[in-house]
Amino acid sequence: MAKAAAGETITFAEGVWHEGSPALVRPRDHGFWLGSAVFDGARAIAGATPDLDRHCARLIRSAELMGMRSPLDADAVAATIRDGIAKFPADAALYICPLLYPAGGFIIPEPDSTQFILHIGESPLPEPSGFSACVTRFHRPMPDSAPTGAKASCLYPNVARGMQEATDKGFDVGVTLDPLGNVAEFSYANLFMAQDGAVHTPAINGTFLNGITRQRVIQLLREDGMEVVERAIAPAELAQADELFATGNYAKVTPCARFEDREFQPGPAFLRARELYFAFAETCR
């Protein structure tokens, strides 16, 4: 196919590029019928592709955890992504979504039936204007009751329930708790709290993903000399924080402007984390 037009999306499936978002899944495909699809999200920001290798590797790991065998290895996924990025203007901000799903199987997927699809589209980075959040009653699941180690599509209906509860109350996202009642994350992003000059974030306990942007921000802040503490955080602590902010692939580093009845201003920890992250991203060309 030719170069993508401004605002267009493209999809790689069955070995070729298609314009837009073509119909590909069949009713009896395991990934559709029984919810076994996995995906990942990555970004291209004016040609920079921060941590693309990690996103591709996580896609393969997610598939393996769900009983699939990817037809492409991580390097081949990355090469296909770069081929797709080249079809857009050099200054485009892109959201990149590779997916794997099994076509065959009954309850248990047939590993060798795994299909690869890649969808890329222009998607500007959200402005860091701040979002609002409240605690939701829908908790993250235990590792023995859901595939919490995978970025699996089947986990997102629970995310949507919490988001719906939050939006019904007039907030943008939820704060999701783990099964013990400690803070896990924002609905679809990892959570950070600044207090007394240190940054705190929930310790990884197997109930929520250790986000790639989360890992990168922790590394960058520590290298910059800031103390970052990974620990259990009680929900009541959030209202006492100096700052709250989120990390995630879609928006990268964004401030929380309101948590329930408490309002926040973007603070020095958030501002430094965002500055460090985008400086890092510029090195990923």
Distance (Å, whole) CA 193 – CA 186: 12
Query: Which DSSP letter does residue 48 get?
Result: B
Counting Cα atoms < 13 Å in the Cβ hemisphere of 246 gives 31
Query: Which DSSP letter does residue 124 get?
Result: P
The residue among 239, 256, 232 whose CA lies nearest residue 181 is 232
Confidence of residue 6 (pLDDT cuts 50, 70, 90): low
Backbone angles phi, psi at 190, to 5 degrees: -75, 150
pLDDT, tens digit, for every residue of 76-98? 999 999 999 999 999 999 999 99
Distance (Å, whole) CA 227 – CA 243: 15
Q: What is the mean pLDDT of residues 99-104?
A: 98
Average confidence score pLDDT of the chain: 97
pLDDT, tens digit, for every residue of 21-31? 999 999 999 99
Distance (Å, whole) CA 179 – CA 214: 21
Predicted pLDDT at 221: 98
pLDDT, tens digit, for every residue of 38-70? 999 999 999 999 999 999 999 999 999 999 999
pLDDT, tens digit, for every residue of 131-164? 999 999 999 999 999 999 999 999 999 999 999 9
Query: Which CATH topology does 9-122 take?
Result: D-amino Acid Aminotransferase; Chain A, domain 1 (3.30.470)
What number of residues does the chain have?
285
181 vs 8: which has the higher pLDDT: 181
Task: For residue 147, count other CB atoms closer than 10 A to its CB.
Answer: 17
Name residue 65's amino acid: L
Q: Which two tokens stand for residue 68?
A: 């699939």
Give the position of tokens 């390097």.
75
Domain map (residue ranges) of the chain: 9-122, 131-282
Predicted pLDDT at 2: 54
* Widest Cα–Cα separation across the chain: 54
Contacts of 188 (CB under 8 A, 6+ apart): 159, 163, 173, 248, 250
The residue among 196, 266, 192, 267 whose CA lies nearest residue 230 is 192
Which CATH architecture is the domain 131-282 placed in?
Answer: Alpha-Beta Barrel (3.20)
